[in-house]
Structure 1
Amino acid sequence: MGNLVIVRHGESQWNRENRFTGWADIDLTANGIEQARCAGRALARAGFRFDLAITSMLKRTIRSQWLILDEMDAMFTPVISHWRLNERHYGALTGHSRAEMIERFGEEQVWAWRRGFDSRPPLMESTDARAPQQQARYKDVPRAELPLGESLHDTVERVRVVWNETIAPVLKQGKDVIISSHGNSQRALVKLLEDMPDEEVARFDVPNSVPLVYKLDTDLRVLERKSMTDIPHPGSSAIL
């Protein structure tokens, strides 16, 4: 089968500030731009070529994908952006720092929201200007499908739909696919690919811009998973 490569976006400004980002459309830092370029250069050196690139609807994955493909001299690659690959929606926590939330709710509760598989944060109001129901980019998505706060379990279930409907059929054609992901949409993909236990996937490490390479059989079972951790990075960012 074709190769599947999943790459978390480069460092965003709110990654740097330790803020819950979720569906907020926060751009890359200069460091994040260089991280994405490093990933692209590493994939080019390794000889990768992709038939399809997939991103979320958020600029930090879209820009990271552009930068990766630019370094591979492959910006002609078709790109699909899908809302179901967005980061986990952090609800009312969005925009707040981890330190602020620990002070307000306590470390144990914040840890549960960050790393509990089924723990859903306080919901964002649907009338909030930041809510997806208020944003033009999601105007074609049924309002009932747009979240106002999610657990990792919720994120897995929405990613499962785009996996079954879009990603898996392309891979079954023997095509090579690269996905520019977020920390939790990448955890969701890992869960679907490897049937990883809930507690394990909630703690699965997802560094910025380190390609995760899967080789799959004809039934999309994992034959090999390799993380390209040997690529040079200009720095590391905090991971909520």
Structure 2
Amino acid sequence: MTERLLVLVRHGQSEWNLKNLFTGWRDPDLTPLGVEEALKAGQRLKADGYQFDIAFTSALSRAQKTLDLALGELGQTGLPILRDQALNERDYGDLAGLNKDDARVKWGEEQVHVWRRSYDVPPPGGESLKDTVARALPYYVTEILPKVLQGKRVLVAAHGNSLRALIMVLERHSPESIMKRELATGVPVIYRLKADSTVESVVDLAG
């Protein structure tokens, strides 16, 4: 029987996550906790017997490093890896690099909440989640999904919002419900797909 396995992992905690800064396409490194989270992701997958045929990640180092550390724990450091900015985090535009509390002082709590939690309202100079879906989903459809349907075991290490773009389709979320879908850093979400690309089962190791 064909195994259609897709595992998504959000990168471990970054230095800017720790500092409460909007990150987007900026490229901070993982914190020591982020490194630990990435290693634990690999350890969890190894403990459950998972191995992979190919991996995908973004053009940003925090996702790439998370993937490398997880693969190291799996003993798969030579695995083929495809990197593409289509899987980058949502671009926060003028908010990038700002402390989230400082942004609320500058623009107001309500406006910052709209930028962060609405589906289709982008921050100044940046992307909405809708924009991120428009970027990430075609890449999933043309590059990632065909590998899964061929029976390749696929691991994707990326970002909260680029992964939400994929999860929106996989879990059939509405624009409203996808904004409430939380993704813990460094915790694998395991999908098995049917031949028609819909989800047969999902296990979120965050519980």
Category of TM-score, reference length = shorter chain: over 0.9
Q: Is the 8 A contact 2:12 2:34 kept in 1?
A: yes
Given the alignment of the two structures, is residue 46 of structure 1 paired with residue 48 of structure 2, yes or no?
A: yes
In the alignment, which residue of structure 2 is the partner of 1:201? 178
In the alignment, which residue of structure 2 is the partner of 1:89? 91
In the alignment, which residue of structure 2 is the partner of 1:216? 193
Counterpart CA distance in 1 for 2:28 and 2:138 is 25
Counterpart CA distance in 2 for 1:229 and 1:193 is 18
2:6 to 4, 13, 23: 4
In the alignment, which residue of structure 2 is the partner of 1:139? none
Q: Is the 8 A contact 2:8 2:189 kept in 1?
A: yes
In the alignment, which residue of structure 2 is the partner of 1:61? 63
Secondary structure class of the residue paired with 1:174? coil
Cα distance, 1:42 vs. partner?
0.5
1:177 to 154, 157, 171: 154
1:30 to 19, 29, 32: 32
In the alignment, which residue of structure 2 is the partner of 1:110? 112
Counterpart CA distance in 1 for 2:115 and 2:97 is 15
Counterpart CA distance in 2 for 1:113 and 1:75 is 38
Whichever residue aligns with residue 168 of structure 1, its letter is L
Secondary structure class of the residue paired with 1:215? strand
Q: Is the 8 A contact 2:58 2:85 kept in 1?
A: yes
The TM-score with structure 2 as length reference comes to 0.97
Q: Is the 8 A contact 2:184 2:206 kept in 1?
A: no
Counterpart CA distance in 2 for 1:203 and 1:113 is 14
- Unpaired segments of 5 or more residues in structure 2? none
Secondary structure class of the residue paired with 1:121? coil
Aligned residue pairs, count: 205
- After superposition, give the CA deviation of every residue in 1:32-56 in whole Å (9 maximum; x if it has no partner): 0011001100100100010111000
Task: Report the RMSD for the aligned CA atoms in angstroms.
Answer: 0.8
Counterpart CA distance in 2 for 1:219 and 1:82 is 25
Counterpart CA distance in 2 for 1:193 and 1:227 is 13
Whichever residue aligns with residue 57 of structure 1, its letter is A
In the alignment, which residue of structure 2 is the partner of 1:20? 22
In the alignment, which residue of structure 2 is the partner of 1:158? 135
Cα distance, 1:192 vs. partner?
1.9
In the alignment, which residue of structure 2 is the partner of 1:192? 169
Whichever residue aligns with residue 199 of structure 1, its letter is E
Counterpart CA distance in 2 for 1:39 and 1:162 is 24
Whichever residue aligns with residue 33 of structure 1, its letter is V
- Unpaired segments of 5 or more residues in structure 1? 124-148, 231-240
The TM-score with structure 1 as length reference comes to 0.84
Secondary structure class of the residue paired with 1:77? coil
Give the ranges of 4+ consecutive aligned residues of structure 1 lying more than 6 Å apart after TM superposition.
none
Counterpart CA distance in 1 for 2:206 and 2:181 is 15
